[in-house]
Amino acid sequence: DIDHLNLRVQKELVEWLNWLKADIGFDGWRFDFAKGYSADVAKIYIDRSEPSFAVAEIWTSLAYGGDGKPNLNQDQHRQELVNWVDKVGGKGPATTFDFTTKGILNVAVEGELWRLRGTDGKAPGMIGWWPAKAVTFVDNHDTGSTQHMWPFPSDRVMQGYAYILTHPGTPCIFYDHFFDWGLKEEIDRLVSVRTWHGIHSESKLQIIEADADLYLAEIDGKVIVKLGPRYDVGNLIPGGFKVAAHGNDYAVW
């Protein structure tokens, strides 16, 4: 175990981080198992190495109901993510992986898309509160891949990407999905839509519809995304929008 409160440990880790930055060329850090040490310690490493980007893995359990599914209200879960960024320094480069959004999306795409509109009418994950500091993802090396600890429904992965690549937050693409699953072209198309229309971490999200079989949202007045099997949505799409990407139970205009 590493004693992060030991001043010598802190000094040597900071020196190592600065070596990685100056000599090797890294310019960002990922804080693994960040709940294993305090945000105050992470702040020391960030402040003294000054990365351009830093993201923390704070993976805690969502609040579940008696049916074994996540509660609609996950405020406590996303508050924990927000608190970490606050303590480390909200004006700096610190962000956290949006595990709240990941957990809700996992269930929502299985015929419960109403979950994607929170009680306040906004996105129910961290992106609904502080999107500039939320790194969204569908799966990572722990949740998916060979570890398979909390995998996204494998036949609905592209719905997950249609969501995170059109929404606020900073989306993160999983290596396995991009290179091993044959989804490169589909993901690329969504990335192109995001880039072309300038969708960014603080883009404005307007949720138009959120029912069991349909989620429809407009981002920055430029992009509309639909998740779910319902097809009769033409009356909900404003004039002038054309389909830019589509796949199994998702479409982007």
| Domain ranges (residues) in the chain | 58-203
Which residues, 6+ apart, have CB-to-CB distance to 83 below 8 Å? 39
User: Distances from the Cα of 69 to the Cαs of 77, 104, 147, 175, 202, in angstroms?
Assistant: 15, 9, 22, 28, 29
Instruction: Tally Cβ neighbours within 10 Å of residue 74.
Output: 22
pLDDT of residue 2: 87
* pLDDT tens, N- to C-terminus, the chain (253 residues): 789 999 999 999 999 999 999 999 999 999 999 999 999 999 999 999 999 999 999 999 999 999 999 999 999 999 999 999 999 999 999 999 999 999 999 999 999 999 999 999 999 999 999 999 999 999 999 999 999 999 999 999 999 999 999 999 999 999 999 999 999 999 999 999 999 999 999 999 999 999 999 999 999 999 999 999 999 998 999 899 999 999 999 999 9
- Structure token pair of residue 208: 């138009």
73 Cβ contact list (under 8 Å, min separation 6)? 63, 118, 119
**Residues 228, 234, 235, 237, CA torsion sign:** positive
| Third-level CATH fold of 58-203 | TIM Barrel (3.20.20)
Q: Which amino acids are annotated catalytic?
A: 32, 57
What pLDDT does 1 receive? 79
CB 37 within 8 A of CB 76: no
Q: How far is CA 52 from CA 30, 128, 158, 251, 252, in A?
A: 12, 24, 29, 34, 31
Q: What is the 3-state secondary structure (H, E, C) of 156-195?
A: HHHHHHHHHCCCCCEEECCHHHHHHCCCHHHHHHHHHHHH
Q: Among all chains, which residue has been given the structure tokens 């957990």?
A: 103
The pLDDT of residue 212 is 98
